[in-house]
Homo-oligomer: A and B are copies of this chain.
Amino acid sequence: MPAPTTPTPAVVDLLGLVALGELLAFDRMAADARLAPDLRRRAALSEMAAAEIGNYRRLADRLAALDVPPDDAMAPYVGPLQAYHDSTEPKDWAEAVTKAYVGDAITDDFLREIAGTLDGPDRQLVLDVLHESRYADFAAAEIRVAIEADPRVANRLSMWARRLVGEALSQAGRVAAADRGPLTALIAQGEQVDVQGLFRRLTAAHTARMAAVGLNN
C-alpha cells in the first residue's frame, strides 16, 4: 500500500481541532482541580492540565510552520468544543476525574485512528500528543477510591460518563458541520478510516475502560 498523501487543508483542520481541544482541556481541567479534596490531588489534576498546554504549543508551532495562524485554524471549532465543556461541568471531584478519564481516552483513541491517515511528521506529532498513561492511571485510581468509599457513587458516575459521551457525540456532529470539508473527508476517506468501524472501535474501548474502573456503560 502506498503511503497516503494528505491534503494540507485537512491537516490544518485536524491540527486546529486538536490544538483547540488541548487549550480548552487545559482551561477546564485547571478549573476542575479546585474540586480536589486536598492539595496533592489538586496538583495532580493541575499537572494533567499543564500537559495539555505543552501539547497545544507543539500543535500551534506546527500550524505556524505551515503558515497558518493557529487562531484561524481553531476558530471553526470554538463553538462546539466550548459547548461540550459548558454542558459537562463537573460538580465534584469524582465527576472531574471521571471526565478526565473518559475524555482523554476517547480523544486518544480517535487520534490514534486518524494518525494513520497522515503523512510523516504530522502523523508523529499527533501520536506524540497522546496522553501519558500515568494520568489515566491516576484518574482511574481516584474513581475506584470514590466507589470504594461509597458504592452508590458507581451509578451516579456511570450516568455521568454516559452524559459525557452523549454530549461529546452531539458536539462531534457540530464539529463535522462546522468543518469546511477537508477534515470530514479525511476521516471518511475510503479504506483509510471506515467511519462505522471507527465508531464501533471507540465505543468498545470506552466500554472496556468503564468496566475497568467499576462503571457500567
Contact surface of A with B, Cβ cutoff 8 Å: 20, 23, 26-27, 30-31, 33-34, 38-40, 42-43, 46-47, 49-50, 53-54, 56-57, 60, 69-71, 74-75, 78
Do A53 and B57 contact each other (CB < 8 Å), given the known contacts A27-B33, A30-B30? no
Is B33 touching A20 in the complex (CB atoms < 8 A)?
no
Question: Which has the most chain B C-beta neighbours within 10 Å: A30, A34, A47, A54?
Answer: A30
- Docked Cα-Cα span, A27 to B49, in Å, equals 10
Is B34 within 8 A of A50, CB to CB? no
Bound Cα distance from A34 to B38, whole angstroms: 25
**Nearest CB of B to A163, in Å:** 24
| Closest 4 A/B residue pairs (Cβ) | A30-B30, A50-B50, A50-B53, A39-B71
Task: For the complex, give the distance between the alpha carbons of A38 and B53 in Å.
Answer: 16
